[in-house]
């Protein structure tokens, strides 16, 4: 066993009753990402993705669905009897990983940073048995207090429900819930955890007092008044954490050369990437793996999720979800691009147009009131207002092929599978059920018949 080998475990089994949701606490989103994602993003670069374990319990199936690539390293805590019990349940699996040291963090700490962990991980060089992070918030009333002796050394952590200032002193330093354990020396103490407290739970914090009683070296690494380390337990704390992250991310992109107007109404998720020269005017929301290249302009009231944009304009009130938009394209206003859409250079999607699994060729346009689903549209084709591709027959989806230079008149229904040949024309109001040869014109509508009304409307 490597003397410095390091694993990590995230405690993520709780419901989070004070967040008033039936969803697992660690799946509550901030900036479009679940709380647990932020903790993974911090721990995995420190210990390696394959060495991060997660204790799950409440609605574990939902957590597994949210993180399928990590589920094989999940450890089930069937009964949620406290943080100490979670560690007891996980211990056998953690020992099999053969690491000497163990980092423990809660799954509701989106503001945890690698720099916070640096001082903790460094304690391995000093052969400390147990280390943990602390903070000194303005109001420590509802938090576990760190009790120190006259020499300044750590003596115990007392949970808020059990804290008595007359017995423990007026401690201002509180536990942040992030620990480093020497697994060899802490293992014998796990069996000594008791639940004789006001919550009737097994606390991981009790390991501190047990370790001190055994004469082991216990250290607290104070992170000042950084109360963001304390995790998310209430709706107010959820919103506060999100706002702190929102401002932090926005400021970083501004420093990197992004123009962000109306910044107080711009929300950018942690996985999004923006190039210098991107110009955004809020309100705007950018989530997931969105990638915005230089020259992209985003007008107000736009929502992007997993969007890849290159030198294009996204106009007001448009949604781009899982779509690729190339240079010189215009989208919107009031457009919706759904997953699988690709707009090639110079194409245009106008107001009240929706696309799904559709490729729009260079210079093609669909300017008004159109639905294009499972379609391939050739270069320089014009799609008239009110056109729809009828791609679903009730069982299967079918593809509409529209070749280059096609003109599709307004109020047209294209019943897939169907192909419109290059340079063909479809008359307005047609319902097309058969292929149209290249260069031909299609009329698929009944002849107009005028009949005099029986009663004069005037």
319 is catalytic: no
Q: Name the DSSP letter for residue 448.
A: P
Across-strand partners of 441?
425
Q: How far is 213 from 95, CA to CA, in rounded Å?
A: 24
**Which 3 state secondary structure label does DSSP give 390?**
strand
**Which 3 state secondary structure label does DSSP give 91?**
helix
Across-strand partners of 105?
10
Q: Which residues contact 233 (CB under 8 A, 6 or more apart)?
A: 16, 18, 19, 108
What is the phi-psi region of residue 254: left when phi exceeds 0, alpha when psi lies from -120 to 50, beta otherwise?
Answer: alpha
Catalytic residue, from 85, 116, 168, 368: name it: 368
Token reading at 436: 């149209």
Q: Which of 92, 99, 104, 102 is nearest to 13 (CA)?
A: 104
- Neighbouring C-beta atoms of residue 368, cutoff 10 Å: 15
CB 17 within 8 A of CB 253: no
Strands 266-268 and 336-337: unpaired
Token reading at 237: 């704390």
HEC assignment per residue over 295-319: CCEECCCEEEECCEECCCEECCCCE
With the C-alpha atoms ordered 135, 138, 140, 142, is the resulting torsion angle positive or negative? negative
The b-or-e profile of 70-108 (16+ CB within 10 A means b, else e) is beebbbebeebbbbbbbbbbbbebbeeeebbbbbbbbbb
Radius of gyration of the chain (CA): 30
Across-strand partners of 370?
353
Say how far residue 249 (Cα) sits from the centre of its chain. 14
Task: Report the catalytic residues.
Answer: 368
């Amino acid at each position: 066993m490597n003397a410095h080998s390091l694993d990590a475990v995230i405690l993520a089994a709780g419901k989070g009753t004070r967040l008033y949701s039936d969803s697992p606490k660690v799946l509550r989103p901030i900036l479009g990402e679940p709380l647990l994602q932020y903790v993974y993003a911090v721990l995995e670069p420190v210990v390696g993705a394959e060495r991060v374990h997660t204790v799950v319990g409440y609605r574990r199936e939902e957590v597994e669905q949210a993180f399928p690539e990590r589920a094989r390293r999940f450890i089930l805590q069937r009964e949620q009897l406290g943080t100490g019990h979670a560690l007891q349940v996980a211990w056998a699996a953690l020992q099999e990983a053969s690491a000497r040291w163990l980092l423990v963090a809660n799954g509701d700490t989106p503001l945890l940073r690698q720099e916070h962990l640096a001082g903790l991980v460094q304690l391995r060089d000093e052969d400390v048995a147990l280390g943990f992070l602390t903070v000194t918030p303005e109001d420590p009333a509802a938090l576990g207090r760190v009790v120190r002796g006259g020499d300044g050394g750590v003596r115990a952590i007392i949970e808020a429900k059990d804290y008595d200032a007359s017995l423990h002193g007026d401690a201002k330093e509180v536990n942040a819930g992030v620990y480093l354990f020497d697994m060899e020396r802490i293992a014998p103490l796990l069996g000594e955890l008791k639940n004789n407290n006001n919550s009737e739970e097994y606390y991981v914090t009790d390991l501190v007092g047990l370790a001190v009683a055994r004469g082991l070296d216990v250290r607290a690494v104070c992170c000042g008044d950084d109360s963001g380390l304390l995790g998310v337990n209430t709706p107010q704390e959820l919103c506060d954490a999100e706002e702190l992250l929102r401002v932090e991310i926005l400021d970083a992109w501004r420093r990197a050369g992004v123009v962000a107007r109306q910044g107080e109404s711009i929300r950018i998720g942690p996985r999004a990437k923006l190039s210098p020269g991107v110009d955004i005017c809020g309100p705007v929301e950018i989530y997931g793996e969105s990638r915005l290249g230089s020259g992209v302009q985003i007008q107000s009231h736009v929502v992007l999720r997993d969007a890849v944009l290159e030198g294009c304009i996204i106009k007001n009130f448009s949604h781009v979800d899982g779509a690729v938009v190339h240079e010189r394209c215009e989208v919107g206003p009031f457009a919706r691009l759904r997953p699988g859409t690709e707009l090639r250079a110079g194409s245009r999607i106008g107001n009240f147009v929706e696309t799904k699994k559709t490729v729009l060729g260079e210079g093609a346009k669909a300017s008004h009131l159109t639905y294009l689903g499972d379609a391939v549209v050739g270069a320089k084709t014009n799609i008239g207002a009110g056109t729809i591709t009828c791609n679903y027959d009730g069982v299967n989806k079918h593809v509409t092929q529209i070749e280059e230079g096609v003109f599709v008149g307004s109020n047209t229904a294209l019943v897939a599978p169907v192909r419109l040949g290059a340079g063909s024309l479809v008359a307005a109001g047609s319902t097309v059920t058969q292929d149209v040869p290249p260069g031909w014109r299609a009329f698929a509508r009944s002849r107009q018949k005028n009949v005099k009304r029986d009663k004069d409307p005037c």
